[in-house]
Structures are given as C-alpha cells and as structure tokens.
Structure 1
Amino acid sequence: MSSHRDAPPHSGEASAAGPTQSNFEFADAKFARTSITGPSPSSRATDLKRIGRIGALAVALGVGAAIAAVPGVAFADTAEGGSPESSAERSQESSSGTEAAPPQHRSAREKPADRDDKPSPPTRRGATRTAATEAASGRDRPTRDTESPASGVGESAVTSDGDDRQPAEQSVATTTTTLRSATSSSSQPAGVPDSPAQESVLLAASASIGRPNEARTAIPSPAARSAQTSVLTEAPQQASSTAADDADAQDRDVVIDADSLTVSRPSNGTTYTDPTASGGTALLLHRNATASTTVTLPEFTSLVIRAKGDQYRGAPEMRVSVNGKVVSKVAVTATSWTDYTVPFSGPAGTYTLSVAFTNDRYSRRNGDRNLRLDTVTVVSAVVDPEPPTPPSTGSPGYFEGADWLWKPIATNPVLATNSATWVNYLAAPDKLRIANLYDYSVALVSASEITSSTPRYDVAFTEPWGSDPFGNTTVPIPLGTKVPPGSDGHVAILDPTTGLAYGIWQAKYNSSTNTWSGSWGGMTDLDGDGIDQSGSATAAAIARYAGVVTAAELSAAIAANTGINHALAFSTDLAGPDFVYPAAKSDGQNWAGVAVPIPEGYRIQLDPSIDVDAIPGMTPGERVIAKTLQTHGAYVVDQGSARMAFAFELLDDATSTSPGSVWVDAGFAWDYYDMNAIPWSQLRVLAPTSVSV
C-alpha cells in the first residue's frame, strides 16, 4: 500500500639454589668453546691459562662441577625430547632460550643427504668462528650476548651455522639472551621442574656452548620474578598481552604475537611482513630453532597455534612445549594460516611456552622446508558472559514460523548485485530517513489485550479488489482503539481466540453506528510465517504487525543496550514494481525516479563491525535502531514519500505535538524524527532468498 501520500512536506521519512653467579666470573666462559675438530694451535697458550682457572673453580665448586668446564665434555642427554636431563641444563635453557637438538642434527664433519647439492662451508653449526674469520667470510651473523646479572660481565661470541642459505626475509635483528636466576617455589604450577642443583650452576651457564635438548624451563614464582635484575643490551620484546599487565586478562584469552617470541638461535628466525598475518607481521623459522616466551596466564584449557609451512619433501614439524614439557608434535601441512589446537590445560600461573621447528630440510635447487608462526593463543577457562539481550519469554508469541523476521543475519551474507547502487540512493544526503511515530505509525493490538469481553466487528472493506479478505471472521477491537491520523490509518490485531492476525489499511471507526471499516486488509495465521494468506495489509503482503517497533521492546533494548530481536519494516520512494521473498507482491512505482528501483522484499543491513556506542550524538532510540539494523536488518514492505520510513507503534499518549512519552524519552522528540546520527552510508543490501530461511 502506498504510504505518506499526505505527509507534510517537511516530514518525508638464581638465582638457583646454591652459589649465585656473583661468586665467580663467567667472563672467560667463551674459552670453554672449542671447535668440534679440536683446538687450534693458536689457542694452546690460552688453554694453559684455562687450566689455572679450572683449578680455582674446582676449589669453589667441587671437582665434578669444574670438570664440566673442560673442553670436549659432552652432555649425557642428546635424545630428541622427553628423556630426563640435568636440572642445570633446564635452568640454562630457560634463560637462554636454546632449543632442543633435533634428531637430524648435523656435525661439522657431516654432509647431510638432504643437502647433498650444497657445498659444505669451512665450519658447520656449532663450530667456533672468530670475529676476524666472520668478517673475512663477508657474512654478518647475529650476535647473542649472555651476561651475568650479578656481575655485569658477559661474553660476546659470534657463531655461524655454516649454512650458505639465507632467509627469505632479511630483517633479523640482533637478539640478546639474558641468564635468569630462579628459586624454588611451592606456588609454582604443576609440571614446573625443580631449580638446578648447586653444583650444576657452571654447567648451566655454559649450556649454550653444547647442544642441549629441548628447553625445560624452571618458572620462578611471581615474587622471585619481580626481584630479578636483568642486564640487557636490548630489552626483549614482551608478549602482546599478559594477565600481569591487565587484570581483565585473567578472564580472557591471551594472544601472543609470534614475532614477539625469543628465538633460541636468532640467526635461524626472521620477522617478516605478511598482510595475511595478524598485525601484518609473522615469524619465519627457516632453520631448526625454538621460539619461546614466559608469560603469566589465567586458568586455561588449550593452546591455539596459528601457523603454516613451506613444504619440501614433507611438512615442517612443530613441537609445542609448556614449561619444558612437550605437549604436542604437529606436522604443519597447511600452506595458508591455519589454527592448530593443542588440548593442554593448566591453572593460573606463570608459564614458559615454546614452539620449536625440528625437521628443517633444504636443497639449493629444489626447495626449502620452513615453519611460519603468526600467533599463540592461550584459551582462557573463563567463559565470557553472553551479551545482554532484551527480555524475552523464549517465544515471540506470534509469527513463530517467520524465520526471515526473527532469525539474525548470518555472518558474511551474500550481497545483492545492486547493493552499492541502492545504498548510494538510500544514503543520499538530501533525503530523510525517519521514524513514523504518529501520523503514519501503526496502531497495534496485542494478543494480551484481547479478552472474552472485547467487542468483535465484521469489518467492511470499500475497495473492490476481490472478495472480503476476512470472510465471515469477526475482528476483536478494544473500545477506544486509536487510529493513526495519516492517510494510511494502519491497525493490526493479534487474536488468540481464532489464532489469526489481522491488518487493516485506512481503518475507520464510526462511533454513531459502532462499526469498523477499511479500504483493504490482510489476514494470516497468528503462528504462521508472517505473510498474509488472505488479502494484504501492506503492499508486499507482509503482515502489518510484523517488523513494527513497539514501545515495550524499545524500552527493554535501551535498558539492555542492545537492538530489538526482530527485523524492522520500512517504506521507501525507491520501491519498484518487482518483488522478492518474503514479499508476495509490490505496488512500487519508483516515485524517486531512480535508474534502478529496489524491489519490495529486499533486506538491508548496517555494517555489523561498526561500534555504534562510539558514535557521538546518537539518541538512545537511534542506538537501538542501529544495533537492530546490524543484527536483524529491515525489509522494504511498501512505497512511501520518504527515502526510508520505519514503522513504529502508535502510543496511547501520542498527540499532534508529541509522539508519546516513550519515544520522547528515547530521544525521538517529534513525529518524523530524522535519525541522521545513524551511518546510513554503511548500509548494505542483502541478496534475497527464494524460499523461507
């Protein structure tokens, strides 16, 4: 039915247990490093000096500990992981971030089969290279500094992997690893290893010299952590979110950017730009390495690693560890970012999380196997409460079969082909998008208002458009029911007695004869799909009660700071003669005269990503309408003189000078209120469905 024909022109619409590092100096710890092939002749004079130091250390620490500093002493545990190692190794691995030795570890004298086409450099991984040798090679290698927190005396050893392969992204920065002290704490989370034994301190401090197993980190208590003093050349980047930094994080997931993790061998990891990654950057492990961080977490239920792999003769293996314990080994077969869930839970506390790349493979001519990491998400055990929703009885009470009306819009819906064109029309700056609050509102009679004493009327229809749409059915209309004064005169009734819903267009009450009449009307089942089965109360044959904003639901939505739980209905001067579901017909005549009129039945939606609460100047009522347009949208049900005119309930206290207290309290101070604070340019028009959704 055409709307607003008579609308006024203006309206439109540690330290470890035992001696601390300050008891002795590690300034000469670098002398404990030797080439795997043995010391060079030039280092023999230095070896003699070292013997004196070993003797002094033997007095201070015991002979067994001093022997640990002798060149060539191997670590007993060289298995891939899961086997026990000394607590000293665990302590050093915790502080330096050294990763586990992978099963395919290659010595300086080996020429691995999977790299048979690459010439062997003079030294291989683990071999010592002096600064002069490094400079002569023409290759800049990252430097790792291990520094004593107690004495401030550190070493700077430049090491080479001996691999002529360079990472695909050349953006690796120098990484500084700090030796941390640790104390035993009874409050540590379950699974945290004990602190290192006193006699193992020297061995732990030298652990980065050899090839330790997978890192098994001793997590200090929060008190011990706060007492630590770290001397850094560069402060390591911290996790992007920690519960210690934000109390709210105790109840939320903790998301850690992979490029904030500390890589055990800095030269083996690269931060690179990737537009598809979170934040636009990610971490590439192009050789075997472990990326770790220590973070305070809420109680959690699982870990989610977002990763992908460069495939070459198989997928890269990702080994996930918590506090040094391997909790998952995963073949990363995905070549695009994929979430890998690790079902590991833990109580609130401080944890070291590690992700290791363990099966690097490379051929200069054929390919390169790499692991790429985006984020590590710790899934909190605390479930956020559901957002508030308007009070509901659990059932709408009418048109329960109308999924098109009640069902929220799906994520990423398909848009109409002409969506952009129609949004351009709908959002035109010189047009009005109004709330019909009085003249062209709808008088609603709910089922709760109908009783056995409510008078019933045989409504007479004056238009010769067919047989009486109500037939012999009488319509219950309470005494005193007001009719909106505009030319549409819409009245809609829900009748629980007959189980029918009625809509009357241009309704009139004759008090002299106590009769009701109308130009036309529509009728449908009260528990049906909300589309008139006999006659039609709207141009689209959508039941007149459907989509109208009621005072009760708007007030409830304002209190809950939500939208309304059903789609809205509006008329527009863009309506054309075509129609789509749920419309069953159309009277559109393209009053706006646009090139592409919109068929009745189309559904619009406001961009759901918009933070409506952050929009300045919005009235409470506009916020409700905007949020409803985000979740449920609105349907074109009629043509009218405004660009968009939304149907609202006629209030009992409405007058020609005030639309009623509920609307005024919501910020809608007058009829035809122009809701110009809603970002109409952010609408989209959805593709129709041919059948009930």
Structure 2
Amino acid sequence: MALGIGWALMAGGVAHADSTGSDSAQSAAGRSAQAGSARAGRHSAAGPSAPRSGSRPSPKADIPQPAAAKPVAVTRKATAAAGVAPAANDTPAEPRRSAVVPAAAVANDVAVTQTVTVARSTASPVESVNAIINATRTALETLLHNARPPTLPPPPQLLLSLLAWARKEFDSLFPTSTRTELTTATEPTAAAAGTLTSGTTTVVIEGESLTVAPAKAGSMYSDAAASGRKALLLSTNSTATKSLSLPSATGLVIRARGDQYNGAPVMTVSVDGVVVATTQVSSTSWTDYSIPVSLSAGTHTISLAFTNDLRQSAANDRNLRIDKITVIAAATPPSTQTPPYFQGADWLWKPIVANPIVAANSATWVKYLSAANAQHVADLYDSGVSLVSANQITASTPRYDVKFTEPWGSDPFGSYTVAIPLGLNLPSGSDRQIAILDPNTGKAYGLWQASYDGTTNTWSAAWGGMTDLSGNGIDSSGSATATNIARYAGVITTAEFGAAVAANTGINHALFISSDIAGALFAGPATKSDGTNIAGVTTPIPEGTRIQLDPSVNVDAIPGLSAAEKVIAKTLQTYGAYVGDQGGARMAFVFEVASDAISPTNPGAVWTGAGLSWDYYDMADIPWSQLRVLANWDGS
C-alpha cells in the first residue's frame, strides 16, 4: 500500500497511489466492461418498448429499420510478466507487503515531504487499518510541524478525510463487490446434454459451478469473453471439483487461461481421483486444452488443481482461470425416429453430411449475408405462423370451407374442409399465416392472409396450399409460400424450441427463411420463386438454396450468445436453413406464433424467456460470417 498526502486534503480527500502501478488481475477482471448487443427491430432502434413504425412495401417484404451500432465489450487486462518455467520450490514471496512513498504538502511554494511506510498485514483487517491510521497520523504531525505557516485544514476535516480514505484502503484490501467466494457446492448452471452434428452428445460444466477447496482460494468473476460472461479464478493453490452423471466419453476440453508470473500456472486434471493430465496454462487468453480420456457412462468426479501459486505483488501474481469443461461423449448412431409429418421430405429431416458440396458463389453470398448492416431476425408475431398440430385436431374441432379471395386459379383445397380450432391466436399483421396438419384428412394445409368473420362464422384467405401429410413437404395444390414449400415445413415450433433450450441443443429439422437477396432463380426443394433481389446485390441467391453454419464453430464458447441464439446456431450447423421466400431482412427465420403472444413487443414467454425479446429480434451474436452456402447437402 502506498500513501500520498498533499493539498488534496483541503478538498476533503486523500491522494492515493498503488505501489504496483496497476490493478490486480482479480480487480481488473471484476470491473470488466459489460456490453450487451445493440438490437434494432423494425419497430424502432429505441428498444423493445418502442412502438412499431413504418410499413412493408408488400405483404411479403419486411423492411427493417437500420441496426443500431453494437457496443463493444472492453475488458481491462492486468499486466502480466512472462518468465521462465517455475521451479519446484516456488513459494509465495510476500506474507507481509509494504510500500514506501513520500507524502507531500506545499506551503509558500515550498514542498514539504514526509515519507510514509506502511506494512500491510495479512493476519487481520484491523491490524492493517490501524497501521494505516498510525502511519498517516505520524506523517500528518510531521507535515503540520514543518509547514510554515501551517495552512492545512482543521483537524475535524482531516480526520473525516483520513477515515474516508482508510475505508477505501480497507475495501481494496478485502474486496467483496467484484468477487464472489465459492464457499458451497452448487448445481452446474450449464451442465446440459446436447446433440452435435456427428450424433455426439456433449456435457458442458461452467467453471463457476465447480466446488473449490479451500473455498477462499476460488472466486467467480465477470468476463465478457467467457461462456455465460462468468468464469472461475483460482488465486492460490487449490482444487476445483464437480461430480455429476455423464455419458460414456472420449475426452475433456478445458477452456482456461493463466496469469503469468515467472512461469505459467500448472493445471492438474483428475477423473475419479486419478490424474489424467498435467499441463502448463501458458496462454493469457481463453484457450482450449484437450485431454483424451475414456469414461464409461455413470457418475464421475472431475477435478482441476492449481498447484504452483506464486505472488510477489498485485501485478506479479500467478493465477489459474477456468471458463468451462466440455465432456466429449462417444459417438452414438444417428436417430432413426420417424418424422412426425412429411416423412418423405429428406431435404427437411436429414442432417447435412460431413463434407457437403459448397456452392461456387458461396463466398460472395456469405459476404452479403454477414454484411455489417444485415439483419438476421426472428419472425415471432406479425410474420410468424399460427400452427395447428395433428394432436390439436379432434372430432369436435370445427371445420370450414375456406373461401379464397385472389383469382389465381381454382380452389386449391377443392372439396376439403379445414379444421381450425376455436380461439386460434392469429396476429393482425399483413401475412396472417396459418399451417394445419390434419390427421383425419391426411392433408397439410397452409393459408396466407387468413381472416375469420365472427358474424358469419367463416374463414377466408388470399391464397393457400395443400399437400399430403406424409409426403415430401411440397404443396401439390395451390401454394402457401413463394417456393411451394409447405407452410408447416421449417417453422420453429414452440414445443421443439422449448425442448432444445432445456437440452442446450438445436432442433431436428432444417429451417425456413426469407431474404432480401433472393433472386428469380430457384433450386430444389423449391419449385418456383418470387425473388426480385430487393437488396439489389450483384449476385442474388436462388430460392431453395440451403445455408449452413460451419459445424466446427464452438457455439457454446461464443460470449454473449443467448439461449435462443444457441438453438438457432446449432440447428444451422446440423440442418441448415432454406431460402424459401423473399423479405425485407437479410435472413428472417419463421417461428410459430405462441399461444400467449399478444403483440410484437410481447410475442410470448417461450421466446422472450430465451432472449428473443420482441418480434423481428435481431440475432446479432451468431457468427454469420461463418456461414457457407451449399450446392448439394448430401454430397451426391
């Protein structure tokens, strides 16, 4: 601790200088700037509560407002001194620390100085504060004696200033606001099973969920670059442990970094009490350390030990930091479960192969798709789809002879009547889409611009499409979408989304998107296109094109990613998304209208609870530059 006292006392404060010249790694991490993503919906850049503004140029073209600038999260990093590898007998260098700095006063333009030396006691907070007060009192007495004439403030003001400063120093000695001691065991906050592209199950254990012994050696702190924006700091020799049920596994991936001082921190990894690896954590940024292990399914205890603590000062302090542990399970065969509908739609239900054929224009299209001003939005309400699943239809569900208002051909439903439950939640936006799976008729129906007349108890729509419930997912009569893809296909349902959030996985089918770079050309599964290249790019993308997020991206390691964005990202890695329509956003994903949705700013708890706060929410944290556009998803 270093103390400087000067005419700052006149203003009721005491000048304070830290002898290390920089913040400690712990305090710097604790004060890391937290910056969330700036969101811009079509309502307004003001935020979720702002009223909706503007209108679309056509029922199928969503024109978003420009995205607000996304603030950058800035993390203060402590100065780290890199040195040689640690010796076996490294021991803490300073059980008691002291600092020497002159305290100065000025009288009649003549500087009067007094050196103050204070030993910082590690035994007791009271001893430390008493030492500060006694040393400062001596310095003040000397300054008062030497200053001619004495122009220091009166003793009461000096005392108040001194006490305020002493409290500040006390807090710096024993901080509580930026660190949380881990004194009790907690359940893993993100230890959830998920399905990867290869059919592999993974379990993620967040560092802050580990139990540390001794407890005071570990603390949780905020880090914008860490998973969940939190991480575990081991500041002295200690062990962090977690016991939990695991599938059979082939490896561990530990995301860690080290505060370097005369060498790197050493991390010893044990499973069920047996050491499986010892490694130096020489990286000062988050790095994955892969460790091969062979685990049978069952309960296991994973331990990480920090074994070579060394500290000379706050700026010269060796520490180990843990973000998370990923348990890589043994590969399991892909699921052979029969799809619940459109069983003939391999394009919808089958995962993308490991080595698909990438389109020749992929790089150009990805540049468009990931442009700085491009939005990647969730159509939750106005352009969402009101779904009626097969299990919602019973013998008592009302049936309607839907009337179509556009003169685009003969009635696409023919003599079929459509089952539509009473009280179906249908937004009042321009699209008003409904998709119905009817097990009684064996048909799937899609309606566009649907409307109910309560006076006559009738349903009408601008147009619609119909196909076999067990078929290939392409409308065979009429069309409910611009590409003839059945309206139910590719929509993200509330049920599957909620299950995916709970399991930290993607959902099990490809997604449907609209885009403002969709052109007049089309490719299967599309059988037609309405694309007009709204954005005016040089090379528009054909409707029916399948887009994939690079499956090598570690989605769980992306900082700031919401639960909803993780679901979308993981689904894009495994199944991708089809350009099925044109619209005003670069990529607009189609979601089911939730039963409790009441407005664009209140689209339903299942969405808002996972981070999609309003209709047309911009999912800005997904790494869109890591997309690739496929020419053939099955490798043929």
TM-score, normalised to structure 1's length? 0.46
Which structure has the larger Rg? 1
Larger strand proportion of the pair: 2
